[in-house]
Structure formats: structure tokens, C-alpha cells
Chains A and B, each alone.
Chain A
Amino acid sequence: DSGVTQTPKHLITATGQRVTLRCSPRSGDLSVYWYQQSLDQGLQFLIHYYNGEERAKGNILERFSAQQFPDLHSELNLSSLELGDSALYFCASSVKGQGAYEQYFGPGTRLTVT
């Protein structure tokens, strides 16, 4: 158990809908990273938040957004869903400073868009 929690575990929804994925980092970790894992693309970085502030964006679609709250949990919002958005979504957390590159992953949310 990495100490990172994600809810829900599974999500099935229809095209055009909007969903929210939730992540709670390990105790004391200030950074939250979101990744998408699909069969064809592998694990791809989406976005990084540090202590409530957005720090970097990767291959994140404009239909997707995220935020990190004062209690450090993070939410990833996916809207106008398309079939191609079906994937595993992981968040990872890391400490501040030394060791910030060590990222610990949650169990993921499996999103199925029908």
C-alpha cells in the first residue's frame, strides 16, 4: 500500500458526460501528479500540482482540468467525454525537496466511456 488513495475505483459513463476523479496524497506529500494509462500510449503525464498551485502541464486535453485543495487532495475533472478517454487514471504523490523525484502511485481509477 503506497499510502495514496483514489476514488472511485471504477467509473462507467456515457459519451458527453462529465466525471470527477479524486486523489488523496500520502501524509505530508505536497506534490500530486496525474497520469493517464492507455494500451496504445502507455503512462502519460497530465498535470502536476504542488501545494495548491499548478506547476506543469503535459499532454492534457482542454476538456480536462484539475485542482489541488488546501487539504492537499486533488481532483481531476474530465468533461465532454469521448470513447477515447477510456483509460486508467493514476495520481502519484511525492515529498518536497530531496526525494521529490520519487513518486508513489495510487491504485488508479478505471474509466470506461460507452
Chain B
Amino acid sequence: QKEVEQDPGPLSVPEGAIVSLNCTYSNSAFQYFMWYRQYSRKGPELLMYTYSSGNKEDGRFTAQVDKSSKYISLFIRDSQPSDSATYLCAMTKSGGSNYKLTFGKGTLLTVNP
């Protein structure tokens, strides 16, 4: 079993739709949870991060973490064609000096005008 599982999609939605992206994980030591956006042939771009359980909102983006279920989500409201990209979840443990990220394989999202 991989440490982080993410549905690769592809996911295709109309402009203005609410998008839900999800990851599950198996390692209970993970404490920091990130979402990255990666456009084709570009480097991953950090969208937002959450520490432990709870919600975090940034503009049209909301991240949720449920540690009891080992399940994290990213919601995109009023999706735009410019949101079309691959979305990667990533997570890391707390403490120490090495924060290597463990990634899901990414979900490819297309928002159609």
C-alpha cells in the first residue's frame, strides 16, 4: 500500500463548478498537509498548507484535513479555465530537521469554458 493515494482522474468540469479533490494516507505521523498545483511542464506551485486537522480557506480554495479518517480534501469554488492543471497533495511529519514531502500521484483537472 502506498503511503499516499490520490485518484489520478482525469476530472473534467464546466466553468463555475465546485471541484473536490481528495487524498488518503496511511502514515499517522504526517502532520503537515499541502496542496500543490502543477501546470504542464512546470514546477509544482504551493497553493496552501494545513497543520493537523481542520479547515483552511484562501480565496476560492479550501483545504480540509480529517486525521481520524486519514483523509484530506481541496475544494475549488467558482472554478476557472485557468485552474486546469494537475493537483498534487503532499504531506510531511512534524519535528526534526528533515521535512521531506511524500506526494500523491496527482489529479489532472480540466475546467471547460
Contact = CB atoms under 8 A, between A and B. Distances in A.
A102 B33 CA distance: 10
Contacts of A43: 44, 88, 90, 101, 103
A103 B45 contact: no
A45 B44 CA distance: 14
B101 A103 contact: yes
Q: How large is the interface on A (under 10, 10 to 19, 20 to 34, 35 or more residues)?
A: 20 to 34
Nearest to A106: B43
B29 to A, nearest CB: 13
A19 to B, nearest CB: 19
Contacts of A105: 36, 43-46
Interface residues of B, number: 23
A58 interface: yes
B97 A50 contact: yes
Interface in A81-108: 90, 92, 94, 100-108
A42 B104 contact: yes
B51 to A, nearest CB: 9
Interface of A: 2, 4, 31, 33, 35, 42-45, 48, 50, 55-56, 58, 90, 92, 94, 100-108, 110
